[in-house]
Amino acid sequence: MNVPKFMSRDLSRRGFIKAGLAGAAVAATSKWSLAQAQEPNVLNYLSWPGNADPYLIADFEKEHGVTVRIKEYVGGDQMLAVINQSPPGSFDVVLADAEYMHLLHEADFIEELDPADYPLEDFFPEFQKFPLHWFDDKLYGVMTDFGYLGLSYNTDVYKPEEVQSYAALWAEKAQGKVGFFDWYLPSMGSISLAEGNRPPFDIDSEHFEAVKQKLFSLKPQASGFYTIADIFSSLTNGQTHLVPGIGEWITLGLRLNGVPVDTIIPDEGGLQWTESLSIVKGTPKADLARKFIQYTTSPEGQVKMATKVDNKKSIPSMAGWRLLNETMPTDAEILRLTFDAPNVMDEYKAGKIAFRQLPSQQSIEDWNDVWSEFKSL
């Protein structure tokens, strides 16, 4: 697979803009004090929001006598901007979506990891050498959690058999009721799957043009373009009945609170999002960073990752699954993380899941431009 080139630490402003990250740069201008970052009893953590919840980290802080200080970002582009603008040593660990791992590696932002340091043998065989984490047979990231993105729907309006295909998005019944998560990657990835592209992000110019036209044909169906918070509210208040490119990480919590929603992986397939931990290049606390990844991928850490109240996830560790079934069997059943019933690995083993990745034959900017044009129609 061809991967887009990215940047080094001396990236110029012009290069940064060409990489399509100028907006993220503006959002990332607030830098940490390097002196604060290098405090010996603080682990500096660059992450999506919510991952410094005491439920997740309190045991680690107590065991090692440290504080986990989190710098939150929203979106991979902003993560890259923050890390690019920060001097070496500002962060110890970074939690990134796996599709951004090769950009972190190419820019020399993350350390090579020793596989023997981490409980990879506890993972399902499919995830022990996850391809988005390895470069030249060297490991740079460890999976912490994952989930699938398909077609989410209002169960009062649709029966499961009506949403077995993404074709439901174009039906008359869906006019004005299709919501979109305002991020080109999962939204356009779903449309690419609907167009029959496997893998969905490695397509030539002809297929890319077909995806563009198929996407644009959905504009009469659109109810709006939403942030994560707005997706929750639009599904709850009925403004939206269908959303492509989101998954159980949104609909499960709503369903447990009585909202009539569910997610299905259509016949054309779904996308896997994957979150991964890496050690940031230049950290003076590599040993503490390694221990944090070991803690997060231990059975106990994995159970916590799976059962965080406001963001439940699938986990790659079989040992974590076993502990979850022993200690929280109801949660294991709800999350489909059981060994003796249909579970989240079934779609993977059936070949219905493609990795969410960055575009291969076009630039990130090309896809973003199409997304922006779609929204402005």
Q: Is-contact 325 307, C-beta < 8 A?
A: no
Element holding 322 (H helix, E strand): helix 318-327
Q: Are residues 64 and 152 in the same domain?
A: no
pLDDT at 32: 58
Assess if residue 8 is contained within a domain. Answer: no
Assess if residue 247 is contained within a domain. Answer: yes
**Domain span including residue 42:** 13-145+274-339
pLDDT at 220: 96
Q: How much is the pTM?
A: 0.89
- What phi and psi values does residue 183 have, to the nearest 5 degrees? -150, 125
pLDDT at 311: 82
Decide: helix, strand or coil at residue 153.
strand
Assess if residue 368 is contained within a domain. Answer: yes
Assess if residue 39 is contained within a domain. Answer: yes
Give the C-alpha separation, 306 to 316, whole Å: 10
Q: CA geometry: angle at 301 spanning 102 and 143, to 5°?
A: 15
Digit-by-digit pLDDT tens for the chain (377 residues) are 333 333 333 333 333 333 444 444 444 444 556 667 778 899 999 999 889 899 999 999 999 999 999 999 988 989 999 999 999 899 999 999 999 999 999 999 999 999 999 999 999 999 999 999 999 999 999 999 999 999 999 999 999 999 999 999 999 999 999 999 999 999 999 999 999 999 999 999 999 999 999 999 999 999 999 998 899 999 999 999 999 999 998 999 999 999 999 999 999 999 999 999 999 999 999 999 999 999 999 999 999 999 998 788 999 999 999 999 999 999 999 999 999 999 999 999 999 999 999 999 999 999 999 999 999 99
Q: Are residues 141 and 156 in the same domain?
A: no
Q: Are residues 168 and 256 in the same domain?
A: yes
Q: Are residues 220 and 359 in the same domain?
A: yes
DSSP 38: T
Q: Is-contact 66 42, C-beta < 8 A?
A: yes
Q: Are residues 304 and 226 in the same domain?
A: no
Which amino acid appears at position 53 of this protein? D
Assess if residue 6 is contained within a domain. Answer: no
Q: Are residues 367 and 234 in the same domain?
A: yes
Give the C-alpha separation, 232 to 253, whole Å: 9
Q: Is-contact 357 199, C-beta < 8 A?
A: yes
Q: Are residues 367 and 323 in the same domain?
A: no
Query: What tokens appear for 352 in the block?
Result: 């219905």
Query: What tokens appear for 116 in the block?
Result: 């023997």
CATH code: domain of residue 364: 3.40.190.10
Q: Is-contact 90 121, C-beta < 8 A?
A: no
Give the C-alpha separation, 302 to 313, whole Å: 10
Assess if residue 349 is contained within a domain. Answer: no
Q: Are residues 54 and 120 in the same domain?
A: yes
Q: Are residues 26 and 133 in the same domain?
A: yes
Q: Are residues 293 and 309 in the same domain?
A: yes
Assess if residue 7 is contained within a domain. Answer: no
Q: Are residues 228 and 361 in the same domain?
A: yes
Whether omega for the bond prior to residue 199 falls within 30 degrees of 0, making it cis, is yes
Q: Are residues 124 and 141 in the same domain?
A: yes
Structural domain count, the chain: 2
Assess if residue 348 is contained within a domain. Answer: no
